[in-house]
């Protein structure tokens, strides 16, 4: 019986092979070819997504998957800044898992995202114009952990922080200088350039400090169990040069 079935199957494929090379294709050949191809793609699709194709035979089972189209993101409060240490709170929807380290990293990424200017962020026009793109702090994050006294330790890579700060694009208005000396155009240009560099450096530092202020405020807003925050730079408690924001100071919930 089995040999008979095998012979019939071989005979069928021989016939299909002959039809595929014949000049005039039989309608039965085209029907079998396309139906076989569609069936193969159908089962392949279900295999790739890890679903049982025969589950479609169960009445109304397809409606069980409609929950996938629901927005599973949670609304959270995110703080952004104008780059001058002034903070603005907005509402954003973020996918949270309930695992504190994952959610902390997600908030860290959101702080570094530019304002979306969406209605859900409830920003007025003036606030939206003042918002600045903050440095990517999550690029510099090495590790985070929580102590028994509910203190969050954030360890950042100092070199990456400084690199992110330098890569920030800030703009200053053209300055007018009251230096008037004969044949001193080159000297004026040099002094103007040096002054602009100092202004730019100060603005970049303020932008980085604003990012940490926004981070601190966002964490305390969304994680009531965290009572304080401490920073480490390359695993050490130290300060960044020329920064007013003190990285060695323990930040406590107010």
Q: What is the reported pLDDT for 175?
A: 38
Q: Which pair of structure tokens corresponds to residue 90?
A: 């907005």
In order of 181, 193, 194, 196, 199, the CA distances from 190 in angstroms are 14, 5, 6, 10, 14
With contact defined as beta carbons under 8 Å apart, do 226 and 101 qualify?
Answer: no
**CB proximity list for 141: less than 8 A, separation 6 or greater:** 105, 108, 154, 155, 156, 157
Beta pairing partners, 75: 93
Tell me 236's DSSP state: B
Tell me the CA end-to-end span of the chain in Å, nearest whole number: 84
Whole-angstrom Cα Rg for the chain: 32
pLDDT digits (tens, 9 = 90+) for 46-95: 788 777 777 666 666 555 555 555 667 888 999 988 888 889 888 888 88
* pTM across the whole model: 0.63
d(C-alpha 146, C-alpha 81), whole Å: 26
CA neighbor of 224 nearest in space, from 103, 115, 111: 103
Burial call 223-237: b when 16+ CB within 10 Å, e when fewer = beebeebbbbbeeee
What are the domain boundaries of the chain?
74-252
CA neighbor of 91 nearest in space, from 106, 104, 110, 109: 110
CA 102-103-109 angle, 5° bins: 95
Residue ranges of the chain with pLDDT lower than 50?
Answer: 119-120, 173-191
């Amino acid at each position: 019986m089995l040999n008979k079935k095998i012979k019939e199957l071989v005979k069928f494929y021989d016939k299909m092979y002959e039809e595929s090379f014949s000049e005039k294709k039989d309608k039965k050949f085209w029907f079998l070819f396309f139906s076989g191809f569609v069936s193969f793609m159908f089962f392949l699709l279900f295999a790739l997504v890890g679903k049982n194709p025969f589950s479609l035979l169960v009445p109304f089972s397809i409606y069980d998957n409609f929950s996938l189209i629901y927005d599973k993101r949670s609304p959270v409060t995110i703080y952004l800044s104008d780059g001058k240490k002034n903070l603005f709170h907005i509402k954003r929807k973020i996918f949270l898992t309930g695992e504190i380290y994952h959610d902390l990293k997600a908030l860290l990424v959101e702080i570094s995202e530019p304002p979306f200017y969406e209605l859900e962020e409830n920003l007025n026009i003036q606030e939206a114009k003042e918002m600045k793109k903050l440095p990517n702090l999550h690029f510099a994050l090495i590790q985070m952990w929580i102590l028994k006294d509910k203190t969050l330790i954030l360890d950042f890579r100092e070199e990456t922080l400084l690199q992110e700060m330098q890569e920030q694009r800030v703009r200053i208005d053209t300055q007018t200088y009251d230096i008037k000396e004969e044949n001193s155009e080159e000297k004026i240009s040099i002094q103007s350039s040096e002054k602009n560099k100092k202004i730019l450096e100060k603005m970049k530092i303020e932008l980085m400090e604003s990012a940490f202020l926004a981070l601190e405020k966002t964490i305390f807003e969304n994680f009531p169990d965290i009572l304080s925050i401490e920073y480490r730079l390359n695993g050490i408690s130290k300060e960044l040069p020329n920064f007013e924001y003190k990285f060695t100071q323990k930040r406590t919930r107010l």
